[in-house]
């Protein structure tokens, strides 16, 4: 891999992206609706209505707390939905996946910028084969667009260190603004961009601290602020406001209010961590690193560990702009995780809120992989021996990626429930860690219920079958015909549909007729409550 020329890497990256695009187009209809998507879809349409009404329809402010988020993705998806033949959720899944592919292309571009084509291609493959990224690509309307925006923002930041011309700065401002138009918490990246720039401006003071040096440093800082920082900030702020109706009402205070809300998000739910149930507001400090430790593939974790050892070598072989981009990238990945470990904000759904760190981790791992290749080959003095090492390591890498793809195929379309072998795999982690926290397996369960009823002759004429649901109602009922009606989980019904999150499946007695499984782990359960099962097992509320 490392012995190819840069053009070969570029063609290979295009080939990988082509395969991924084909996979997206062939499989996006397989993915079910998540807990958040019904409200997100409503919010997107409300954002479109706001602009279509000449800024008069402010219904967006009434949809839960989604006004705290920009409407960039949701509004765009709603507009595109008007021009596709698919139902709204399928359109959203397709657009979501295209944003995920855009993020992967950003991984290739940033990796290539920091370490060359081998690093870019390796990072692209690693990220595409990481289930916690790929599995979210289709139905995570917050974290995937945000992750894609962050990686492209970092790319243009890295380019601005080398050549801060107007075109690069304008692109940086637009991409950063679009990212903030998804989630304003991305504003922290602005500080991470300034940090390497500020350090560079202050370096002359290490050699000389006389008055002339201080004046020159001050003048340099003012020049950078006027010609670089201010234009980028102004463009980003304007683009963010265009994407975010609520921020337009009070352009200064509302974004700051949203930042405050996200710092202390009030969501209180039960969270499973290593067999212990915690409240989302009372998690141990190791919640984020532990979930990353079990959800990232083993090879990626190994290369990240190797990067700690190889960082001095990586650093020595970078140019000054590459070093600055590398520092900004590490700050963007590391600071939010460190903040979570120290401040204990409310967290849930494993580490999906930190999904933006995964592409960055893949680039760091790719830099370590390149260094490992060179170091291993350097232990031999003949060209033939080095070539054997290159080929052997490349084959080992390819075999691991192939194995990872097989696992993802077996999990499809629930790739995001992946757990590595350090936690016993998906089967070994069941009951100890979160699995289908999105509830997207309800699509498969809903279709299975209809097939089960059809085998018995279907729903009797004039009859409405009630389905007691413990989980996200919309994730199931969007796939059900009108002769099925959802009711509260403990109300009388013909069927009981539940997620296995929070041991929801034990809430009602009945005959289990359907279990949606992957790798032997149940994700959703359907019970038949007809035929006296309630009477036989006793009242559900009396079950211990």
DSSP string for 520-539 = TEEEEEEEE-TTTHHHHH--
What's the pTM? Answer: 0.94
Terminal CA-CA length for the chain: 59
Measured CA to CA, the distance from residue 175 to residue 326 in angstroms comes to 19
User: Backbone dihedral region of 458: left (phi > 0), alpha (psi from -120 to 50 degrees) or beta?
Assistant: left
Q: Are 344 and 336 in contact (CB under 8 A)?
A: no
Flag residues of the chain having pLDDT under 70: 1-4, 264-266, 532-544
Measured CA to CA, the distance from residue 386 to residue 217 in angstroms comes to 48
pLDDT for 3: 53
Q: Are 443 and 477 in contact (CB under 8 A)?
A: no
Residue with tokens 């890498």: 397
pLDDT for 388: 87
Q: Which residues, listed in sequence order, are joined to residue 468 by a DSSP beta bridge? A: 487, 496
Span 211-256, pLDDT tens digits: 888 998 899 899 999 999 999 999 999 999 999 999 999 999 999 9
pLDDT for 213: 85
């Amino acid at each position: 891999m490392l012995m190819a020329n840069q053009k070969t890497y570029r063609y290979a990256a295009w080939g990988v992206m082509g395969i991924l695009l084909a996979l997206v187009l062939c499989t996006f209809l397989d993915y079910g609706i998540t807990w958040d998507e019904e409200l997100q879809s409503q919010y997107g349409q409300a954002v479109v209505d706001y602009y279509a009404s000449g800024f008069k329809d402010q219904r967006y402010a009434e949809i839960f707390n989604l006004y705290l988020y920009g409407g960039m993705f949701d509004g765009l998806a709603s507009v595109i939905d008007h021009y596709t033949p698919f139902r709204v959720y399928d359109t959203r899944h397709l657009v979501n996946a295209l944003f995920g592919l855009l993020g992967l292309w950003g991984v290739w571009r940033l990796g290539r910028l920091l370490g060359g084509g081998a690093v870019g291609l390796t990072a692209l493959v690693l990220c595409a084969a990481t289930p916690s990224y790929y599995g979210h690509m289709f139905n995570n309307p917050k974290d995937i667009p945000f992750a894609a925006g962050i990686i492209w923002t970092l790319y243009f930041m890295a380019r601005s260190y080398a050549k801060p011309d107007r075109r690069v700065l304008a692109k940086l401002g637009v991409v950063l603004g679009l990212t903030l138009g998804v989630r304003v918490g991305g504003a922290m990246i602005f500080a991470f961009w300034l940090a390497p720039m500020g350090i560079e401006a202050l370096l002359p003071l290490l050699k000389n601290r006389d008055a002339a040096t201080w004046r020159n440093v001050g003048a340099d800082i003012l020049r950078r602020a006027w010609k670089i920082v201010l234009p980028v900030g102004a463009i980003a702020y304007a683009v963010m406001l265009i994407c975010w109706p609520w921020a337009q009402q009070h352009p200064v205070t509302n974004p700051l209010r949203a930042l405050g809300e996200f710092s202390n998000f009030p969501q209180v739910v039960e969270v499973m961590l290593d067999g212990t149930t915690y409240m989302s507001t009372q998690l141990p400090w190791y919640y984020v690193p532990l979930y990353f430790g079990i959800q990232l593939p083993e090879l990626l974790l190994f290369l990240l560990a190797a990067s700690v050892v190889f960082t001095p070598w990586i650093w020595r072989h970078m140019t000054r702009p590459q070093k600055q981009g590398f520092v900004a990238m590490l700050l963007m990945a590391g600071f939010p995780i460190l903040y979570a470990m120290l401040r204990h904000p409310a967290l849930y759904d494993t580490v999906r809120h930190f999904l933006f760190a995964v592409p960055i981790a893949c680039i760091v791992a790719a830099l370590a992989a390149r260094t490992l290749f060179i170091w291993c080959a350097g232990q031999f003095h003949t060209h033939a021996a080095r070539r054997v090492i290159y080929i052997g390591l490349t084959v080992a890498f390819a075999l691991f990626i192939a194995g990872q793809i097989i696992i993802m195929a077996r999990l499809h379309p629930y790739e995001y429930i992946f757990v590595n072998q350090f936690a016993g795999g998906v089967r070994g982690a069941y009951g100890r860690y979160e699995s289908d926290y999105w509830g997207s397996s309800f699509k498969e369960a809903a279709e299975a219920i209809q097939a089960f009823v059809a085998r018995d002759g279907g729903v009797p004429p004039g009859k409405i079958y009630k389905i007691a649901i413990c989980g996200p109602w919309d994730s199931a009922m969007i796939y059900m015909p009108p002769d099925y009606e959802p009711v509260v989980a403990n109300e009388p019904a013909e069927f009981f549909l539940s997620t296995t999150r929070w041991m929801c499946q034990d809430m009602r007695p009945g005959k289990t007729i359907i279990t949606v499984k992957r790798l032997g782990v149940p994700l959703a359960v359907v019970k038949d409550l007809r035929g006296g099962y309630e009477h036989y097992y006793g009242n559900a509320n009396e079950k211990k």
